[in-house]
Structure 1
Amino acid sequence: MAENPLVFRFAEFEVREREFSILKGNTSVPVEPRAFQVLLVLLRNPQKVITKDKLLNTVWDDVEVTDNSLTRSVVKLRQALGDDARSPRLIETVAKVGYRFVCPVEVLEDARGGVAPAEPADTPTELPRTSKGPLVKTVPARARGWAGLVFGRRWLLATVVAVVGLLASAIWYLHRPLPPPRVTEYTQITHDDRHKIPVATDGARLYLNLDHQPYRPAQVAVSGGEVTLFPVQLPNPTLADVSADGASLLVHSLDSGRASLWSVQVPGGSLRRLLDGVRLGSYPWSSAGWSPNGKLLAYYTSDGDINAMRSDGTESHKLVSAPHRLSTSVSGDVRWSPDGTRIRFTQDHRLWEMSSNGSGLHPLLPDWHPSEWQCCGRWTPDGRFFVFLLSKQLASNLGAVVPAAQIWALDERHGFLRPAHPEPVQLTSGPIRWDRAILSTDGEKIFSRGVILRGELVRFDAQSRQLQPYLSGISAEFVTFSPDGKSLAYVTYPEGILWRANRDGSNPIQLTDPPIYPTLLRWSPDGRQILFTASDSEGQMKIYILPSEGGKPQMLLPSDNRWQFDPNWSPDGRKIVFSASETVSTSFKPSICILELSNGQVTDIPKSQYRYSTRWSPDGQYLAGLKTDSNSSLTVFDFKAQQWSDIQKGEVGFPTWSHDGKFIYFLRPVDDPGVYRIRPTGGEAERVVDLKGFRFTGVWRYFLGLDPEDTPLLLRDTGTDDIFALTLDER
């Protein structure tokens, strides 16, 4: 007799092997089949270390998979069971060996697993006998007739019931939704932890943009391997798309502040200029896209309209003027449907759709998850699914490039009678955050950048000339100190929670809650308030003010419709200087404004266009800030002379005054990276910290601050950042 299946009881859960189910009370806990099989192996061996090899061989048998598959299944199990890898109560990780189930387990036999065997139908039944032979009762013919009639009616009734049951089953089957798509496997195809953005694939290669300021085109085999540069003979090239036949690349180029769009032939690298004045915006790789047949392309203009033209650059014409707030919101990802009849794109954190001639413009999912951001959609090559990102607000769409999304799919299959799922289906979950999804040419893989965001706050030690963990290496940025130096405030990364604590990090007090994500903190001179920048409910950057002891953040200028960011107090605390811009996408033209707190009057600093991120000097004589145009620079405004001076050329960030006002510290992230300082009157910049090989991270790519002794603080990347291939299955 076969062994009965088992029932396992632990904590508040019951696992039934026969039913392949997990119950928490009377509620079923969903879990993937592979993850359930991993759990069964652990439950059958409680308190024992089960090696990774044994788990892989037992659960995946002869299927070739990597440790990533097992890790993912354990992550799924922990999520389903509410377990924490850092403080496990159920599944413990034994480093480099395997896993152990540490919770006490009660094991029972499932009595319902056995059924008493029925007597075979053809077993002869011995008739009663007399001394003269079998005792047989003769049935009259009329009785036999009635018996046959009753027997026939019963068979007829049984047949009708069976037919009705079959019809009902068929109707139920044909009307139930098609099985949803799901991701069944995660395969890591790069292993360098470098920030890179997948753009397109030709079937053999995955094209990338490496984020090295400026971006650099690169490629990697779809099966994985080394990432290599892809040479394009253009100034500051950025890959945007590849044609369906893989023969032509769309490439943006930026030369002395002038943007252009090119077609580059593969192989060979021959160039054709398609147009000038194309809009690059915050994400240049998403501003243009080929049609399926390669004869047309759609693109954003510098004015924010969406145009189409022939692949040779001729017959350009407008498809649509931007919907809603196109001039004031980051947008992109212009994508054609596989049949070429529709175009979808991202605008104002929502997905939009129109016909390929520009008619019928409408939001794709107007009332679905309204508080979250939709982005970056692409069809599978057969048009059965539309894969896109859904994210909570991480900080803003203004320059913040860290991914914070999970991958979803809109089911657009049209089966016979069987409907598709009306709501989008979530494909990924867990600690990995995903960037835009690129579909393989056969539609079976999704290529995406997967990131686990984590940083380590470090401070420069002048004696050892090394960067050492600060506040125990907390993952936090935007550190600012109270005027008396006894307290500090910071924002955890990537959670985006504002905290106040003692200077040594003790006694932390939470000051904000999601969805607000504070950045660029500034403590008031009297120590009573904290200024910061955050996105409003529309995704537009605004300035907020908050009591340093806690309270509700208040928008400082709610009636000002411009983007507002990077506020800073005057030394006397009576004024606030900030940056403002009508738009951040089509043409970023910030200017510097001063708010008089006594009367609420806002005035513009003369000739401040293209300047932002200004900081008031401690003596109130200068403003130090950044300049963004064809020549980026560190710039200073002299209030007495009423004029600007560019004192340091090149890409710099986070200008910060020393406490005595004699120096401006700044961060140079590329081209001899380091922390530098320079006098406000100009001259030679002095390097304070050498950052060659330093891995930056943060919601704005990097962070620089100073403690009360003018010692530099930075956020070092300790997370992971690579490209994965996700297997898409619809069975």
Structure 2
Amino acid sequence: MIAHKSFVFTFADVEVREREFRIVKSGEVLPVEPKAFRVLLFLVRNPHRLIGKDELLDAVWNDSAVTENSLTRSIALLRRLLGDDTREPRYIATVPTVGYRFLCDVKVAEDGFEGLETAEPQPANSRKESEPPRGTNGDRISPDHSQIQTAAEDRVEEKVEQPSDRRERLPKRLLVPGSIAAALLILVTGFFVYRAIRDREARGNAIRPAGNTTASRMHFVLLTTFPGEVRWPAFSPDGEKIAFMWDGENPVKGDLYVQLVGGESPLRLTHTSSGYICCADWSPDGREIAFGRCDDRGGGVFTVPALGGPERKLTDVVCHFGRAGYPKWIGNGRSLLIVDRCVPDGPGGIVVFSLETGEKRCLTAPPLYSEPGDMLPAISPDGKTVAFSRMSTPNRSELYTVELSGGNLRQLTHEGNRVGNLMWSSDGQHIIFIFNSSRVGLGRVWRVPAAGGAIEPATIYPATGALSRDGRRLAYLYPTGEGSWEIWRTALSSPGGQVVSRNRIIESAGWNSAPQPSPDGQQIAFESCRSGQCEVWRTAADGSKPLQMTFFDNGFSGTPRWSPDGKWIAVDHHTATHGQIYLIDSEGRNLHLIASGNYENVVPGWSRDGTAVYFASNRTGSWQVWGQNLATGRETQVTHHGGFAAFEAYDAKTIYYSKFEGGGIWSTPVGGGEEKQITDALHLGYWGHFAVTEAGLYLLDADAFPRPTVMFYSFQTRLLTPVMQLEKNPIPWTANLAASRDGRTVFIAQGTFHSSIAMAENFQ
């Protein structure tokens, strides 16, 4: 037998520890996905050499059918972890359309560990063609030891490839549909999948996440492996069932389900027809589940029997980005903790709601300028203290606590960024959270003492999520945000006419959205996170020749809009403080600020003569459309009853706009006058899914059956007619539909997401 020696690769202040499957930077362990780790491992084994994309895909994904998006995404993850810069890379340089080069000198040392054993070399005809050697546990090891594929992954692959169908394997960069995608999702997680938890000990050991110092006693399993996205896991009081939201049977919207831990068939409890559903929480007796629902009419908190039955609305609440109420049961089940306004038109606060009397008692009163306010309440194990996130802007929040009896408000973080995914430790001494900050270990799990103190890495829990009542089980999402957002172009026979062709023109790892064609139709501006930071990009009309246009140091940029002469692009840029409007020339130069202030200015649009820019602002306390004369800088309020994304008609007589809270498309004369509703078909979250042409409006009806449908509103007939159903899911809360002036070309961003619920056990 030949022993496989494991190595430690060192560059700059980073160690890549092959045996431990860890990346250590400045003494701190960085959380990393298995495939991204293997990409880095291959790069550091080949420093300074240009490595083609095909070579990397073959080395890391070998026989799997994947897209180049998987590689691009892994590179972006590594850059974020290492703190690399795409403009001035220190570690990984991209050679456009070709591949990548690792820039650092790398020191290699054996770590003194003799790892997986491989069989003695055999003649090629003595084993399957091209099959790499295997370790004693059945794991496959590549000849240069740059990758290890576990026997468990092999077993999943064997389920994917049917023995009765041995046709030639698909090319590696074909998209993987249906059950194959679900199986590959299991590979990415790196967990063994156990269908029945009660007998998991007899089935083998689960793989532990890298970098967790207390993981040796834990067991890890996947509770769900459904296609699509799951969210908001919650344990029943006895810890034997789990509730969650899933969009597999109701795409776009999702519904509430319950499943036995270790079971395979979830029970559907709701049937959502419009809007969004979120935030499941079990009643103390396990008989009901509370949840929030949000649509064009507003938000509400509901309950539904845990074994199925009719929904019951408890109270109206404020909606924020499609999430309503965040309900949490209190004590004996006669009250709920919810998020609602404590003053009219004010931000959300933490409220105790009595199910017996309907009374609402406010525990917090965030400043009136906070938007959206207090969110994500979490009750301590002893039921006496509430932790929550206070959002002063959509991109900035801090962690607070308040006593359930009222008073003793305490701010625990002062980082000036964003806190999310709150969870109490089982002993109630710490609050666990995800910190989106500039700290080393971006996105990792942190903790802070509930009594106040220093923030430090949380080493007990692999993630944040839902703890069982006894604190021995943690349910959490893995992976989070897996998927791709693509931009498609559709050619039509006439405005609102038959579809001639549909083509995907822009795709990469991460976010690609907000497409806008240039006035001459030769270029497309859009927003993308392909570089690891969300910026505005530009391509040719067919999606080729991508060029990054903005290079901000922090925050994210998007919503590009071309000037009528095609010489300028208006964009919004969001920081932790506020979003503001900038202009940049069509070559990516001469960036300058045009709208600013201690409030939000977002989603620009142009007047048809190019002398003014419209934008949405909340400076008056509600979202309204404003306009700025570029010559004088004078700003004028355009709408007075709510307004968001605005486009001026090609005849320069009418302004068409949506509303942030939903409720269709509206119009008002350019010079001022009556505001009229054109259609109610543009729903909550889809304020950016409409476009103005010479002949009419294109818009997305997200509630259309059986799939979200692009519609056309004719200015001549005033009729709304369907044009095409989306093949994938639309992406809400951003601008994702555009059209050419003649109405014969439509651009839309759509995508798919994947996540599962994983469970970790035995923390004590």
User: What range is the shorter-chain TM-score in?
Assistant: 0.5 to 0.7
Q: Is the 8 A contact 1:292 1:338 kept in 2?
A: no
SS in 2 for 1:88: helix
1:361 Cα offset (Å): 1.7
Query: Given the superposition, is the C-alpha separation of residues 277 and 676 from structure 1 closer, same or farther in structure 2, using an over 3 Å criterion?
Result: closer
1:684 matched to which residue of 2? 719
8 Å contact kept, 1:590–1:611: yes
Indicate the larger mover: 254-263 or 215-224.
Answer: 254-263
Q: Supply the distance in 1 between the matched residues of 2:144 and 2:406 (Cα, whole angstroms).
A: 60
Matching of residue 615 in structure 1 with residue 647 in structure 2: yes
Corresponding residue to 2:362 among 312, 318, 325: 318
Task: Determine the C-alpha separation between the residues in 1 that align with 2:324 and 2:527.
Answer: 30
d(CA) in 1 for partners of 2:599 and 2:60?
51
1:665 aligns with 2:710: no
The answer to whether structure 1 residue 339 and structure 2 residue 370 are counterparts is no
Determine if contact 1:378/1:437 at 8 Å carries over to the other structure: yes
Which position in structure 2 is the counterpart of 1:170?
none
Q: Retained in 2: the 8 A contact 1:647–1:681?
A: no
Matches within 5 A, 1:125-274: 187-202=221-236, 203-210=239-246, 216-223=255-262, 225-231=264-270, 239-252=279-292, 257=297, 259-267=299-307, 269=309, 274=314
Find the aligned partners of 1:256 and 1:374 in 2 and give their Cα distance.
Answer: 28
- 1:517-596 map, 5 Å: 517-538=556-577, 540-551=578-589, 553-559=591-597, 561-582=598-619, 589-596=622-629
In the alignment, the residues of structure 1 paired with residue 390 and residue 450 of structure 2 have an alpha-carbon distance, to the nearest angstrom, of: 25
Shift of 1:620: 0.7
Residue in structure 1 matched with residue 541 of structure 2 by the alignment: 503
Q: Aligned equivalents of 2:329 and 2:525: distance in 1?
A: 47
Name the residue aligned to 2:409: 361
The more displaced of 340-349 and 438-447 is 438-447
- Matched-pair contact (CA < 8 Å) for 2:446–2:455: no
How far off its partner does 1:490 sit? 2.1
**CA shift in 2, pair 1:257/1:571, >3 Å:** same
Question: Secondary structure of 2:61's partner?
Answer: strand
Shift of residue 265 of structure 1? Answer: 5.0
- Give the Cα separation in 2 of the matches to 1:721 and 1:604: 42
Structure-1 separation of matches of 2:41 and 2:580? 38
Task: Pick which of 596-605 and 224-233 moved more.
Answer: 224-233
1:458 equivalenced with 2:488 (yes/no): yes
Residues 234, 475 of structure 2: 8 Å contact kept: no
Cα contact 1:31–1:76 (8 A) shared by 2: no
Q: 1:4-54, CA deviations, whole angstroms, 9 ceiling, x for partnerless residues? A: x9784xxxxxx46xxxxx253797836486648xxxxxxxxxxxxxxxxxx
Q: Percent identity?
A: 17
* Contact preservation (8 Å) 2:352, 2:363: yes
1:644 aligns to what? 675
- For the aligned residues, what is the CA RMSD? 4.2
Amino acid at match of 2:505: Y
**Paired position in structure 2 for 1:41:** none
Instruction: Specify the alignment match of 1:88 in structure 2.
Output: 56
* Aligned residue-pair number: 574
Instruction: Say yes or no: does 1:438 pair with 2:460.
Output: no
The 1-side partners of 2:352 and 2:477 are apart by 27
Out of 319, 338, 350, the residue aligned to residue 280 of structure 1 is 319
Gaps of 5+ in 1: 9-14, 17-21, 37-70, 106-177, 394-403, 415-419
User: Alpha carbons of 1:445 and 1:261: their partners in 2 closer, same or farther (altered >3 Å)?
Assistant: closer
Deviations 1:318-347 (A, max 9, x none): 32211x566423541111100122210011
The CA deviation string for residues 325-376 of structure 1, in whole angstroms up to 9 with x for no partner, is 6642354111110012221001122211222233332222224xx4x42113
Change in Cα spacing, 1:600 to 1:234, as seen in structure 2 (3 Å) is closer
Q: Tell me the equivalent position of 1:65.
A: none
Instruction: Return the offset for 1:523.
Output: 1.1
2: CA distance, partners of 1:225 / 1:409: 33
- Matched to 1:95, the amino acid is D
Deviations 1:452-485 (A, max 9, x none): 1312322224487452222578963222233333
Instruction: Give 1:687 shift.
Output: 2.2
Question: How many angstroms apart in 1 are the aligned matches of 2:448 and 2:216?
Answer: 11
* Higher Rg of the two aligned structures: 1
Structure 1 residue 90, shift from structure 2 partner: 10
Deviation string 1:391-424 (CA, Å, 9 cap, x unpaired) is: 369xxxxxxxxxx98451427699xxxxx99613
Which runs of 5 or more residues in structure 2 are unaligned?
A: 23-31, 45-50, 65-130, 133-139, 147-211, 392-396, 494-498
Change (3 A) 1:314 1:616: closer
TM-score w.r.t. structure 2 length?
A: 0.65
- Counterpart position of 2:177: none
Amino acid at match of 1:377: L
Aligned counterpart, 2:135: none
Structure 1 residue 571: Cα displacement = 0.9
Distance between the aligned counterparts of 2:268 and 2:606, measured in 1? Answer: 45
Deviations 1:76-126 (A, max 9, x none): 444466569864399543215786535499xxxxxxxxxxxxxxxxxxxxx
Instruction: Check the 8 A contact 1:438/1:448 in 2, yes or no.
Output: no
Given residue 318 of structure 1, which amino acid in structure 2 is its aligned partner?
C
SS in 1 for 2:675: strand
Cα distance in 1 for residues equivalent to 2:272 and 2:55: 53
**Quick one: distance in 2 between partners of 1:641 and 1:179?**
64
Aligned CA distance change for structure 1 residues 443 and 547 (closer, same or farther; 3 Å): farther
**Contact 2:294 2:323 survives alignment (8 Å):** no
Secondary structure at the aligned position of 1:650 is classed as coil
* Distance 1:390-1:363 versus aligned 2 partners, 3 A rule: same
Give the partner amino acid of 1:189.
L
- Match of 2:595, SS state, is coil
Q: SS in structure 2 opposite 1:389?
A: strand
**Residue in 1 that maps onto 2:421:** 376
Please report the TM-score for the alignment, with normalisation by the length of structure 1: 0.67
What corresponds to 1:700 in structure 2?
733
Please give the secondary structure, in 2, of the residue aligned with 1:453: strand
State the shift of 1:451 in Å.
2.5
